[in-house]
Amino acid sequence: MQEGHLPAVGRAQARPRPDAPGRCRRVRHELPHGDKGARLRRGHSHRRGPDPQRLQLTSAMAPTPIDEHLASFAPDQRKALEAVCAVIRAALPAATETISYGMPTFKIDGVAVIGFDGFTRHNSLFPYSRQTQQVFEHDLAGFIRTKGSIHFEATTPFPAALLRRILKARITEINASYPKKNGEFKEFYANGQLKARGRMRDEARVGRWVHFTREGTQRPSVT
């Protein structure tokens, strides 16, 4: 460049040839047809919905309101309450876990089946039913009871076999409580899964009814 001559501002500079020394040539790698994984790595977006298995695993790992409630107890009492909770979960896999009236409660389609909680000197079951206590009068003879609760030792789990029988009796009792005066009807399987829902009038089915399998799959609608 001659002295006194400056390059024009904004003038396009000459581009080096592809084979010029020091030039880094971009090599295009062809992807085999159908190599979806490689295409995803290169930024080709393939949108998918959420992975059901991953969602199920995440849901199973997430603490429930009941888990969080039980975490506040001392280890020995928490262990006894968790044992009770495990029996109920196994017997009623379709139930919803919630905190109702300040205590852990299992509900099926909005209907409370049983509750339980820990106190300073004892734990308690709440069957939400006086009839249940009457049915198991002999089996519960060794337990302190009130009108709505069954007490058991703070650090000793409630007998699992008896608890399963109480849960089964509660499902039977709940089924027998339908239809309601307003015609509402529900029926549940022994595992707590809703079996049928609809309305009745003059002892006859009316309107749209919904039926489910024991696993929770909805059957074709019945009118």
Domain segments of the chain as ranges: 65-177, 179-223
- The CA distance from 125 to 87, in Å, is 13
Across 65-193, the runs of DSSP E, i.e. the strands, are 96-100, 103-108, 111-118, 122-126, 150-153, 184-188
- The CA distance from 112 to 96, in Å, is 9
What single-letter amino acid sits at 182? Answer: N
Give helix then strand counts, H and E, for the chain: 6, 8
Tokens for 166? 């109480």
User: Does residue 49 surpass a pLDDT of 70?
Assistant: no
Residues 6+ apart with CB under 8 A from 166: 114, 125, 127, 132, 136
- The CA distance from 223 to 221, in Å, is 7
| 89 against 2, higher pLDDT | 89
Q: Which helix (H) or strand (E) holds 197?
A: strand 194-201
Cα 183 to the chain's mean position, in Å?
A: 30
122-162 per-position pLDDT tens digit: 999 999 999 999 999 999 999 999 999 999 999 999 999 99
User: Does residue 37 surpass a pLDDT of 70?
Assistant: no
Say which DSSP state 120 is in.
S
User: Does residue 46 surpass a pLDDT of 90?
Assistant: no
Q: Which fold has domain 65-177?
A: Aspartate Aminotransferase, domain 1 (3.90.1150)
Does the CA dihedral 96-99-100-105 come out positive or negative?
Answer: positive
User: Does residue 198 surpass a pLDDT of 90?
Assistant: yes
Across 32-121, the runs of DSSP E, i.e. the strands, are 96-100, 103-108, 111-118
Tokens for 160? 């699992």
Q: What is the mean pLDDT of residues 29-40?
A: 47
Tokens for 167? 């849960």
Q: Which helix (H) or strand (E) holds 175?
A: helix 160-176
Antiparallel, parallel or unpaired: β 194-201 and 204-211:
antiparallel
